[in-house]
């Protein structure tokens, strides 16, 4: 019995018997027509407390300002983002911090191109980010900007108008000319590799040992870890400590957050994401998975342990389904701890046969590869092992055979913030991944959904490069005026212009329902996860269920969604969020739903709903 049994809250679930074969088709299906007639409305809950106080106070206690006859007039009362300086009169009542926030981007629009060979920042023809839907969203905003707004009857209306004006101006702003994208000459493609599997499968030990064998971590460090771990009675965790870096993780012998490091193989640069296996930290696993291009699923081959992880409500199935639901298609299965069963071929084959059926028929992986390893004793990691029954590639050779994603450096800027590391009132250090576009020092950006303008003061990727491109994990120092909680994990950095990201609250999602005890009904509450975002949400409409084998609509407006069903639903988040249709941005269009500590469904955003 391993060390986690006493803390693991095992939920004995039935073996999943439903078929997810058609899940692959999601990515290929055409996005349905978006409702283009609607206009955006924005919720005051998503505004910061300061905005709320200021505007509601002025709305209630002061005489209502005259209704603006046009968007321009409206903008002069509520200073628009694109106005160079605050206007006189009512605008002077706006706290200086807000004025600074709103006026900063004007510099961006007025600044002439620094580079003679500049190019527009809008996506070029062929970029899959320049979709008709995005163009329509922008048109909606522009149409609205051109039409007269109604008179304000309450402070709530003021607030929506204010926020809508902000977004209109950001969307209407001319794109900032960018210099021609010359991605760094890189010898090797980048692959973001996530390591997943049931708690205690040996993920961190396996990768720590691999890093040692690749000479990324030296023997002295491992000896030091072994010595210190032994003092805590955890000598066997020496290799795991390479990735389990926090005191609590080391004390408990459990990975709690994603461990991140990088190494190189013959053909690739690998960013390694070591996920926690314990159920309590699954949200961190989901965050890591949403950044991954490929995965290693680690299986504990010890007698009884594979069964615990696979059949008895363990995390093996949930992790595999999450990988696939979040768009990871390349998978290697590392059958680990084979030293504990004397390198038994029968055990390896038993695990391979069981898992192949599940991974191909239910999870939808086309060709998972299996490799026998021991993370503890180190066989078959970087050197092929001499085994009578296996003469295939070792783990590092399989990692090297993964294919890298084509980075979209010429698309619109999208940086998903995964961590806010340091906060001062006018400066933030954030980490995140560039999903599309490129960024460098002095760029003017916005942080969505709070619509906070900022200037990039410093920018560097993992290797210290200052001009960073799609696919890079970066550290950014941002300067601006930051309200509490206006920038957090799950926020997205964008530029102004027609290809900006418009935050919203309502979405149509195509999803697969996981193994759940209680069916999902209309009005059910859940938590929505997308990239690093976690937000309460409600299933507001169950639109239709789909036949998994042929994709046909099974039932319109079903009363509930049972386990294993595939359906299109409408969800409404508690506040505005920065997510997009999967066809616009894959990373921000993948969503997962959790409830009561379990993942209940996962899928893709089909459209962002614009309220009438």
**432 strand-pairing partners:** 417, 474
Q: Which is nearer to ligand GTP, 105 or 202 (CB)?
A: 202
Helices 155-172 and 49-61 sit at what angle, rounded to 10 degrees? 130
d(CA 608, CA 592): 16
Q: Which is nearer to ligand GTP, 203 or 269 (CB)?
A: 203
CA geometry: angle at 294 spanning 329 and 368, to 5°? 55
Q: Which is nearer to ligand GTP, 338 or 445 (CB)?
A: 338
Minimum CB separation of residue 394 from ligand GTP in Å reads 14
Select from 176, 193, 199, 334 the one that contacts ligand GTP (CB under 6 A): 199
Q: Is 340 in the site for ligand GTP (CB under 6 A)?
A: yes
- Candidates 81-89, 255-263, 483-491, 582-590 — which segment interacts with Mg ion by CB under 5 A? 255-263
Work out whether strand 590-595 and strand 259-264 pair parallel, antiparallel, or are unpaired: unpaired
Minimum CB separation of residue 492 from ligand GTP in Å reads 29
| Residue labelled with tokens 């206009």 | 39
Minimum CB separation of residue 344 from ligand GTP in Å reads 14
Select from 255, 308, 491, 592 the one that contacts Mg ion (CB under 5 A): 255
Minimum CB separation of residue 256 from ligand GTP in Å reads 8
Minimum CB separation of residue 301 from ligand GTP in Å reads 8
d(CA 18, CA 442): 51
Q: How many residues interact with ligand GTP (rule CB under 6 A)? A: 24
For residue 101, give the nearest of 117, 78, 133 by alpha carbon. 78
d(CA 94, CA 90): 8
Positive/negative CA dihedral, 603, 606, 611, 612: negative
- Candidates 235-243, 321-329, 552-560, 593-601 — which segment interacts with ligand GTP by CB under 6 A? 235-243
Q: Is 82 in the site for ligand GTP (CB under 6 A)?
A: no
Strand residue runs (E) in 396-532: 414-423, 427-436, 438-439, 444-448, 452-461, 468-469, 473-480, 492-494, 504-513, 520-521, 525-530
- Candidates 183-191, 247-255, 442-450, 481-489 — which segment interacts with Mg ion by CB under 5 A? 247-255
Residue 373-392 contact track with ligand GTP, rule CB under 6 A, x = bound: -xxx----------------
Q: Is 337 in the site for ligand GTP (CB under 6 A)?
A: yes
**Whether 253 contacts 421, CB under 8 Å:** no
Residues of span 185-204 touching Mg ion by CB under 5 A: 203-204
Work out whether strand 118-119 and strand 294-300 pair parallel, antiparallel, or are unpaired: unpaired
Phi first, then psi, for residue 250 (nearest 5°) are: -70, -40
Q: Is 310 in the site for ligand GTP (CB under 6 A)?
A: no
DSSP 390: B
Burial grade of 92 (CB within 10 A; 0-12, 13-18, 19 or more)? exposed
- Candidates 49-57, 165-173, 274-282, 345-353 — which segment interacts with ligand GTP by CB under 6 A? 274-282
Length of the chain: 612
Is 545 strand, coil or helix?
strand
Select from 277, 437, 480, 498 the one that contacts ligand GTP (CB under 6 A): 277
Q: Is 269 in the site for ligand GTP (CB under 6 A)?
A: no
Select from 76, 149, 168, 255 the one that contacts ligand GTP (CB under 6 A): 255
Minimum CB separation of residue 375 from ligand GTP in Å reads 4
Select from 59, 80, 202, 313 the one that contacts ligand GTP (CB under 6 A): 202
Minimum CB separation of residue 197 from Mg ion in Å reads 9
Q: Which is nearer to Mg ion, 203 or 563 (CB)?
A: 203
d(CA 87, CA 33): 41
User: Contact residues for Mg ion (CB under 5 A)?
Assistant: 203-204, 255
User: Contact residues for ligand GTP (CB under 6 A)?
Assistant: 197, 199-206, 236-237, 240, 254-255, 276-278, 336-337, 339-340, 374-376
């Amino acid at each position: 019995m391993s060390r986690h049994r006493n803390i693991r809250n095992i939920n004995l679930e039935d073996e999943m018997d439903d078929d997810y074969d058609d899940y692959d088709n999601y990515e290929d299906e055409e996005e349905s027509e978006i409702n283009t007639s609607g206009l955006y409305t924005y919720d005051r809950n998503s505004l910061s407390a300061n905005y709320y106080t200021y505007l509601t106070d002025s709305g209630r206690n002061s005489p209502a300002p005259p209704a603006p006859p046009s968007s321009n007039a409206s903008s002069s009362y509520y200073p628009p983002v694109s106005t160079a300086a605050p206007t006189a009169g009512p605008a002077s009542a706006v706290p200086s911090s807000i004025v600074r926030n709103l006026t900063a981007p004007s510099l961006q629009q007025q600044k002439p191109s620094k580079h003679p060979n500049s190019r527009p920042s809008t996506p070029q023809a062929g970029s899959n980010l320049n979709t008709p839907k995005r163009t329509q969203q922008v048109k909606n905003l522009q149409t609205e900007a051109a039409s007269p707004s109604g008179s304000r009857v309450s402070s709530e209306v003021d607030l929506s108008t204010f926020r809508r004006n902000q977004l209109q101006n950001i969307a209407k702003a001319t794109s900032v000319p960018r210099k021609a994208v010359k991605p760094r000459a890189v010898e090797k493609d980048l692959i973001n590799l996530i390591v997943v599997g049931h708690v205690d499968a040996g993920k961190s030990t396996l990768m720590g040992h691999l890093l040692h064998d690749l000479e990324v971590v030296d023997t002295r460090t491992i000896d030091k870890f072994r010595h210190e771990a032994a003092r805590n009675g955890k000598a066997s965790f020496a290799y795991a400590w390479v990735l389990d870096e926090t005191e609590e993780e080391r004390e408990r012998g459990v990975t709690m957050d994603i461990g991140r490091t990088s190494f190189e193989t013959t053909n690739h640069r690998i960013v390694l994401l070591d996920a926690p296996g314990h159920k309590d930290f699954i949200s961190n696993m989901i965050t890591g998975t949403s950044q991954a291009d490929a995965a290693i699923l680690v299986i504990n081959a010890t007698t009884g342990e594979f069964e615990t992880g696979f059949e008895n409500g363990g995390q093996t199935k949930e992790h595999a389904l999450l990988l696939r639901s979040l768009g990871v298609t390349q998978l290697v299965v590392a059958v680990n701890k084979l030293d504990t069963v004397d390198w038994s071929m029968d055990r390896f084959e038993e695990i391979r046969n069981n898992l192949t059926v599940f991974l191909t028929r239910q999870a939808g992986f086309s060709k998972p590869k299996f490799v026998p390893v021991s993370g503890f004793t180190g066989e078959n990691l970087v050197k092929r092992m001499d085994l009578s029954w296996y003469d295939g590639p070792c783990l590092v050779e399989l990692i090297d055979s993964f294919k890298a994603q084509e980075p979209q450096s010429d698309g619109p800027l999208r940086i998903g913030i995964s961590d806010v590391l340091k906060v001062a009132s006018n400066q933030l250090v954030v980490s995140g991944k560039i999903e599309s576009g490129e960024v460098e020092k002095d760029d003017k950006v916005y942080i969505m959904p709070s619509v906070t303008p900022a200037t990039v003061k410093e920018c560097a990727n993992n290797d210290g490069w200052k001009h960073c491109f799609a696919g890079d994990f970066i550290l950014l120092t941002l300067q601006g005026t930051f309200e509490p909680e206006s920038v957090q994990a799950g926020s997205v950095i964008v530029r102004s212009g027609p290809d900006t990201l418009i935050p919203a609250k309502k979405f149509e999602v195509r999803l697969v329902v996981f193994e759940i005890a209680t069916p999902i009904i209309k009005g059910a509450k859940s938590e929505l996860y997308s990239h690093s975002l976690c937000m309460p949400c409600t299933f507001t409409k169950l639109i239709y269920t789909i036949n998994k084998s042929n994709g046909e609509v099974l039932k319109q407006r079903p009363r509930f969604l049972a386990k294993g069903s595939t359906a299109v639903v409408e969800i409404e988040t508690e506040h505005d969020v920065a997510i997009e249709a999967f066809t616009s941005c894959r990373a921000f269009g993948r969503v997962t739903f959790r409830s009561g500590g379990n993942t209940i469904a996962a899928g893709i955003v089909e459209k962002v709903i614009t309220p009438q």
